[in-house]
């Protein structure tokens, strides 16, 4: 059970956060010209490189010694989940929208390069996920569960694969029924829930000690 809980959190957060995301829309654009297995392999490699790095880095930070450091690090991690979720409910500023559009435009131009499909998708996922909310969440998960790196990485990879599989095989349903705003709402709520669960358990443990 200890291995399943971090896996479940990583899988759930990544799965819902990826639905309707710009990287998923790029993956969807590849589906008409490439085999699904090649696309999903590229997604898996890109996720391993991006979220894997975030989780490993967060895990190494969590190993730093010092009781006070560990206390505030865990506290920061739980608050960060709440922050990620709450920020998602704030109105989007034009500056942030422009930055996101520039990133999407860069990825779209990159997709026109003549590279192997798997390599191209892997790089798109790697570049597209860097600095995103899901990437920062993986970093926080690495800090929170430093001893469960494999579970977290597998959860992130399978979450991305499952989310993009839904997009590839049910593209019209995703586009017409599951609006990006709804997916973002679900994602924000999940971040807040996991943040609250972490804070409550953190308070209970420290109260007993």
Q: Answer for the pair 119, 41: CB distance below 8 angstroms, yes or no.
A: no
Which of helix, strand or coil describes residue 188? helix
Mean pLDDT of the chain, nearest integer: 79
Q: Answer for the pair 17, 137: CB distance below 8 angstroms, yes or no.
A: yes
pLDDT bin (cut points 50, 70, 90) of residue 117 is confident
Q: Answer for the pair 160, 19: CB distance below 8 angstroms, yes or no.
A: no
Quick one: what percent of the chain has pLDDT higher than 70? 80
Q: Answer for the pair 122, 46: CB distance below 8 angstroms, yes or no.
A: yes
DSSP string, 29-98: HHTTTS-HHHHHHHHHHHHHHHHHHHHHHHHHHHT---HHHHHHHHHHHHHHHHHHHHHTTSPPPHHHHH
- Asked if pLDDT for residue 75 goes beyond 70, the answer is yes
Higher pLDDT, 51 or 184: 51
The structural domains of the chain, with segments of one domain joined by +, span: 4-208
**The two structure tokens encoding residue 194:** 């996991």
Whole-prediction pTM: 0.78
Q: What is the pLDDT of residue 156?
A: 94
Instruction: State how far the Cα of 28 lies from the Cα of 165, in Å rounded to an integer.
Output: 9
pLDDT bin (cut points 50, 70, 90) of residue 110 is low
Select, from the ranges 21-25, 28-32, 81-85, the one with the highest average predicted confidence (pLDDT).
81-85
pLDDT bin (cut points 50, 70, 90) of residue 56 is very high
Higher pLDDT, 109 or 27: 27
């Amino acid at each position: 059970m200890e291995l399943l809980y971090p896996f479940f959190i990583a899988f759930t957060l990544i799965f819902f956060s990826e639905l309707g995301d710009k990287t998923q829309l790029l993956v969807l654009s590849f589906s008409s010209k490439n085999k699904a297995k090649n696309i999903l392999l590229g997604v898996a490699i890109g996720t391993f490189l991006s979220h894997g790095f975030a989780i490993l880095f967060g895990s190494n930070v969590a190993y730093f010694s010092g009781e006070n450091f560990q206390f505030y690090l865990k506290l920061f991690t739980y608050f960060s989940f709440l922050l990620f979720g709450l920020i998602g409910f704030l109105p989007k500023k034009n500056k942030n929208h422009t930055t996101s559009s520039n990133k999407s435009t860069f990825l779209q131009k990159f997709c026109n390069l003549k590279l192997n499909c798997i390599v191209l998708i892997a790089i798109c996922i790697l570049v597209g996920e860097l600095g995103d909310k899901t990437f920062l969440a993986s970093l926080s998960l690495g800090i929170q569960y430093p001893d469960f790196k494999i579970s977290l990485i597998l959860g992130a990879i399978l979450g991305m694969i499952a989310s993009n599989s839904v997009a590839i095989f049910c593209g019209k349903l995703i586009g017409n029924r599951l609006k990006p705003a709804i997916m973002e709402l679900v994602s924000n709520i999940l971040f807040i829930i996991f943040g609250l669960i972490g804070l409550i358990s953190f308070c209970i443990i420290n109260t007993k000690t």
